[in-house]
Amino acid sequence: MKNSLSFLFFVLFLSISLTPSCQSNKVSAPGGKSVFISQDVLKTAKWAEFDYKTKLDQSLRGNVTAMQEFFEFMTYVDDKQRIEHAVTCLEIIPVVGDQVFSTAVQNLKPKFRDVFRAQIQIAMGKTENPEIKGKQITELYPYTWGALNHAPITDQSQKGVIPVDSTQKSGAFDTTAPGLVPPTGKGSPAQNRPENPKPNERTAPESKEKGGKN
pLDDT at residue 153, rounded to an integer: 55
- Cβ–Cβ < 8 Å for 88, 37: yes
Angle at the Cα of 59 (from 57 to 64), degrees rounded to 5?
Answer: 150
Name 26's bridge partners: 36
- Compute CA distances 75 → 86, 116, 213, whole Å: 11, 10, 21
pLDDT bin (cut points 50, 70, 90) of residue 3 is low
Task: Give the model confidence (pLDDT) of 136-195 as tens digits.
Answer: 999 999 999 999 999 865 544 344 433 333 333 333 333 333 333 333 333 445 544 544
Please indicate whether residue 10 or residue 185 has the higher confidence score (pLDDT). Answer: 10
Angle at the Cα of 171 (from 90 to 99), degrees rounded to 5?
Answer: 35
Region 3-25 average pLDDT: 49
Phi, psi of 100 (to 5 degrees): -65, -45
pLDDT at residue 61, rounded to an integer: 96
Q: From CA 92, how far away is CA 164, in angstroms rounded?
A: 23
Region 23-47 average pLDDT: 90
Task: Give the model confidence (pLDDT) of 103-123 as tens digits.
Answer: 999 999 999 999 999 999 999
Please name the residues in contact with 154: beta carbons below 8 A apart, sequence gap of 6 or more. none
pLDDT at residue 194, rounded to an integer: 43
DSSP assignment letter at 160: T
pTM of the model: 0.65
Please name the residues in contact with 194: beta carbons below 8 A apart, sequence gap of 6 or more. none
- Compute CA distances 161 → 149, 155, 158, 169, 186, whole Å: 10, 11, 6, 15, 34
- Cβ–Cβ < 8 Å for 153, 147: yes
Task: Give the model confidence (pLDDT) of 182-211 as tens digits.
Answer: 333 334 455 445 444 455 444 444 444 444
Please indicate whether residue 10 or residue 181 has the higher confidence score (pLDDT). Answer: 10
Task: Give the model confidence (pLDDT) of 41-97 as tens digits.
Answer: 999 999 999 999 999 999 999 999 999 999 999 999 999 999 999 999 999 999 999
Region 27-40 average pLDDT: 94
State the Cα torsion 65-77-144-128 to the nearest 10°: -120
- Compute CA distances 123 → 47, 85, 112, 170, whole Å: 24, 9, 16, 9
